[in-house]
A and B are shown apart, each in its own frame.
Chain A
């Protein structure tokens, strides 16, 4: 059991002109499941590898359970890591793979066997113990890799995109298993992924990284409902949020000269206006500003794509709603997320849940 504290952690690779991780401050509490999410190259894996001790820390400090680990070898940090490619030892059987780390720590044989058998029964890989990794399927390898982390009973689990080599269906079920397992063991976990859906479903606390910086930290729902930057707004949520360039003039949102919403709580100036596709509905009936381009059928819902004054728009609708070539866009101005056009920072206050709101029609 341990908490992790990152203080102004930076990483500059040799020969790089710019740091890959820039001054990250982060507090991970004991037993928490924290997901680092961001596009590729955002520094999330580097950050994880610095916690693991596989990368040196250029400046700043990482402490695990109150001990500064900057100069500690990976083996002394009491962590276990699950790698993207599983990194199972190909010349060892599953049992040897699981017990390798324990043998290296000179654990008595009886204890090793007990832990391996425990982990095998938790992960249902008991029948595979004598096989070599090459004789396992992707999902089974994934379980063995998890098992290797579990048997160590470490104070921190580190996951480096562990599900990205699995097919979509298996990924969803393994996701659920990882979540349950972590809750059951109560071990502090740090999980890296580029998949925002995986991040949302797994995390107690979500950390969105962009270009080596932390964009926002919070629960998945906080990030979904109150993104603090344009980047988070666009990254979190599927389908992605509509983002339009516009202006706020005396409390009105104007997009390309068209006044689309009144009474927004933001100072005047150029903004990026965000609206989730689920908060937008389209109505048929002759006039309107929305021009239909194409429709994605998802079964229970349909995604309708089009544009409005040249800016792309998507809306999530139920299949029973009628469609037309030209439609009216209807939404609640309280659902708008407004961001400063220059800095990308949020400018309107959070929509109050029970505030009286007026539907806008464009």
Chain B
């Protein structure tokens, strides 16, 4: 590829042109990140009168804190469930739409809609439907003999947030899987049909392996999504409760820092999250840029 090189007559001009983007990066990303790192080494007294440098103490305390370790576990369960559910359903819908010829555009459009719903609204929506007093789904469950109450049952709460977070993400996964399926030449499926593979076998031995680049890409994206972008869903539905059952890492940062006002610990938690994001991003760029290409 040929890149066009522009020669600037003045040395200042290129820097000037870059300045707005650099300013945004510095003000909104680098400075806060630096602040968080600095903050994570400090401890403040309860009234904010004095601040003291404590080194790694905040980190050490975190890893001895059972509620923080529990939050890790909750996050893992939450991420895996959301990624599994939303990718599974996204793939299922994509395969269904791929099979129909006539109205697949209409179905695709309808299936993409949930993605346009704001996370907080999605959270409220599901919270309404499952509301133990007025929700239609909790009513239906009660009729079937299950006493649904996500305000008191930890498992119910987890199911609620998983559903609310997955529901939105299905659209996204669906879109990528449809594109992935359409990229598989029809003749491969035909060859497999002649080779004696039924539809199910065809899917698992030919189609799904060829979707693996898409699947891997979506897995990374979904994990990132559930870990960092589901704050609104949690906040609007369970607020991390009951008894920390849905208190995922990113929500705990907010709770400890802005509700509990334990700024040092909260900052240390965000630094850890930042490290996780960096690792995920590296994985993403490393493996997805040169993904499994056939």
CB-contact partner of B185 in A54, A85, A105, under 8 A: A85
A104 CA to B206 CA, complexed, in Å = 12
How many chain B residues sit at the interface, stated as a range, is: 10 to 19
How many chain A residues sit at the interface, stated as a range, is: 20 to 34
Q: Does A73 contact B (CB under 8 A)?
A: yes
- A80 partner residues in chain B, CB cutoff 8 A: 194
| With A87-B185, A87-B187 as contacts: A100 and B195 at CB distance below 8 Å | yes
Contact, CB under 8 Å: B191 / A91: no
Shortest CB distance B200–A (Å): 12
- B196 partner residues in chain A, CB cutoff 8 A: 75, 101, 104-105
- A351 partner residues in chain B, CB cutoff 8 A: none
| With A101-B196, A104-B196, A105-B196 as contacts: A87 and B191 at CB distance below 8 Å | yes
Shortest CB distance B219–A (Å): 18
| With A100-B195, A104-B195, A134-B294 as contacts: A54 and B205 at CB distance below 8 Å | no
- A134 partner residues in chain B, CB cutoff 8 A: 294
CB-contact partner of B193 in A75, A85, A89, A152, under 8 A: A75
Q: Annotate B167-197 by CB proximity to A: 1 below 8 A, 0 otherwise.
A: 0000000000000000001011011111111
Q: Annotate A11-23 by CB proximity to B: 1 below 8 A, 0 otherwise.
A: 0000000000000
Interface of A is mostly: loop
Which has the most chain A C-beta neighbours within 10 Å: B190, B197, B201? B190
In chain A, residues 75-102, which have Cβ atoms closer than 8 Å to a Cβ of chain B? 75, 79-81, 83-85, 87, 89-91, 100-101
Contact, CB under 8 Å: B209 / A104: no
In chain A, residues 12-65, which have Cβ atoms closer than 8 Å to a Cβ of chain B? 52-54
Q: Does B220 contact A (CB under 8 A)?
A: no
| With A87-B185, A91-B294 as contacts: A79 and B195 at CB distance below 8 Å | no
A134 CA to B293 CA, complexed, in Å = 9
Shortest CB distance B216–A (Å): 14
- B294 partner residues in chain A, CB cutoff 8 A: 90-91, 132, 134
Q: Does B33 contact A (CB under 8 A)?
A: no
Q: Does B218 contact A (CB under 8 A)?
A: no
- A74 partner residues in chain B, CB cutoff 8 A: 190, 193-194
Q: Does B210 contact A (CB under 8 A)?
A: yes
A52 CA to B206 CA, complexed, in Å = 20
Q: Annotate A272-283 by CB proximity to B: 1 below 8 A, 0 otherwise.
A: 000000000000
Contact, CB under 8 Å: A104 / B193: no
Contact, CB under 8 Å: A101 / B210: no
- A132 partner residues in chain B, CB cutoff 8 A: 294
A100 CA to B193 CA, complexed, in Å = 11
Shortest CB distance A273–B (Å): 44
- A84 partner residues in chain B, CB cutoff 8 A: 187
A89 CA to B187 CA, complexed, in Å = 10
CB-contact partner of B197 in A52, A75, A81, under 8 A: A75
A124 CA to B27 CA, complexed, in Å = 65
Contact, CB under 8 Å: A52 / B188: no
Contact, CB under 8 Å: B193 / A101: no
Shortest CB distance A142–B (Å): 14
A132 CA to B210 CA, complexed, in Å = 14
Report the nearest A residue to B197, measured CB to CB.
Answer: A104
A74 CA to B190 CA, complexed, in Å = 9
- B185 partner residues in chain A, CB cutoff 8 A: 85, 87
| With A54-B193, A104-B196 as contacts: A91 and B201 at CB distance below 8 Å | no
- A73 partner residues in chain B, CB cutoff 8 A: 193
Contact, CB under 8 Å: A83 / B187: yes
Contact, CB under 8 Å: B190 / A54: yes
Report the nearest A residue to B198, measured CB to CB.
Answer: A75
- B192 partner residues in chain A, CB cutoff 8 A: 89, 100
- A152 partner residues in chain B, CB cutoff 8 A: 195
- A89 partner residues in chain B, CB cutoff 8 A: 188, 191-192, 206
Shortest CB distance B201–A (Å): 7
- B212 partner residues in chain A, CB cutoff 8 A: 91
Shortest CB distance A313–B (Å): 43
Which has the most chain A C-beta neighbours within 10 Å: B193, B198, B209, B210? B193
A84 CA to B196 CA, complexed, in Å = 20
Shortest CB distance B210–A (Å): 6
Shortest CB distance A24–B (Å): 21
A75 CA to B294 CA, complexed, in Å = 26
Which has the most chain A C-beta neighbours within 10 Å: B190, B192, B194, B209? B194
- A81 partner residues in chain B, CB cutoff 8 A: 190-191, 194
- A91 partner residues in chain B, CB cutoff 8 A: 209-210, 212, 294
- B197 partner residues in chain A, CB cutoff 8 A: 75, 100, 104
- A53 partner residues in chain B, CB cutoff 8 A: 193-194
What are 15 contact pairs spanning A and B, CB under 8 A?
Answer: A53-B194, A54-B193, A75-B195, A75-B198, A79-B194, A80-B194, A81-B190, A81-B191, A87-B185, A89-B188, A89-B191, A90-B210, A100-B192, A100-B195, A101-B196
Closest 6 pairs between A and B when the two form their complex, measured CB to CB: A101-B195, A90-B294, A104-B196, A87-B187, A87-B191, A75-B196
Which A residues have a C-beta under 8 Å from some C-beta of B?
52-54, 73-75, 79-81, 83-85, 87, 89-91, 100-101, 104-105, 132, 134, 148, 152
Which B residues have a C-beta under 8 Å from some C-beta of A?
185, 187-188, 190-198, 201, 205-206, 209-210, 212, 294
17 A-B pairs besides A54-B190, A80-B194, A84-B187 with CB distance below 8 A are A54-B193, A73-B193, A75-B196, A79-B194, A81-B190, A81-B194, A85-B185, A85-B187, A87-B191, A89-B188, A90-B210, A91-B210, A100-B197, A100-B205, A101-B194, A104-B197, A104-B201
